[in-house]
Amino acid sequence: MTPPVHRITRHDTHRLISSKYRPREESVLGLIANDDEHLKAIFDFDNATNERLLAERQLLPGISAQELVFGVPYASVVNASFTHAHPEGSRFNGPDRGAWYAAFELETSQAEISFHKAVALAEIGRFYDEVTYDDYLADFNSDFHDLREAPEFAGCLAPESYVESQRLAEELLESGSHGVAYPSVRRDGGNCLACFVPALVTNVRKGRSYRFAWTGEPAPEITEF
């Protein structure tokens, strides 16, 4: 049994990414190089462990170079979402292949980020931090498996477990699925999308930036700047 498939056309979806990963024309590695030869050696070492380049060389098991995007705005940002998977995976992907996660509403994307960062801060017992995030907008117009009105797949939306959702995602990916639309687990009424195919993440552009400040509580103060 698989979820129903619906055509989803959605513009201006939101994906918040830490500003420290913002693409830059000049690498900070250049600041520590003694000369051009030294810089080349540093870049060669850095590139050897960069997942995006490993995927381009077909060394990453979950994704091939042919699936990545090139020659479009923010291609490196899109590719990184598929080649920098969390070691334990996320809700609809395993550790060998990432996905482009986005929310239909900015507030939903902020809620998702707030939750996961708060979990990390709880592990060290200190809710004090300040992080800036860039909002990457993207458009979608394709068929996706849709869990938003499929109660039989409620286990895939378990707040504390990704076991069922990752199992479903693996089956769907093997069958050629484009991805999954699902209700946000972190914000009531919110809508999320996990896209499995880099080429379907279209018209990517950087929107506004937001500062998340944790000042002793799990919920951060969020300000635009």
Q: What is the residue type of 66?
A: Q
Per-residue pLDDT of the chain (225 residues; tens, 9 = 90+): 899 999 999 999 999 999 999 886 434 555 555 666 665 565 555 555 665 666 666 556 888 888 999 889 999 899 999 998 999 999 999 999 999 999 999 999 999 999 999 999 999 999 999 999 999 999 999 999 999 999 999 999 999 999 999 999 999 999 999 999 999 999 999 999 999 999 999 999 999 999 999 999 999 999 998
Q: Residue 115: enclosing H or E segment and its boundaries?
A: helix 106-124
What whole-number distance in Å separates Cα of residue 39 and Cα of residue 177? 42
Buried-exposed string 135-155: b where 16+ CB fall within 10 A, e elsewhere: bbbbbbeeebbbbeebeebee
What whole-number distance in Å separates Cα of residue 52 and Cα of residue 65? 9
Buried-exposed string 179-213: b where 16+ CB fall within 10 A, e elsewhere: bbbbbbbbbeebbbbbbbbbebbeebeeeeebebe
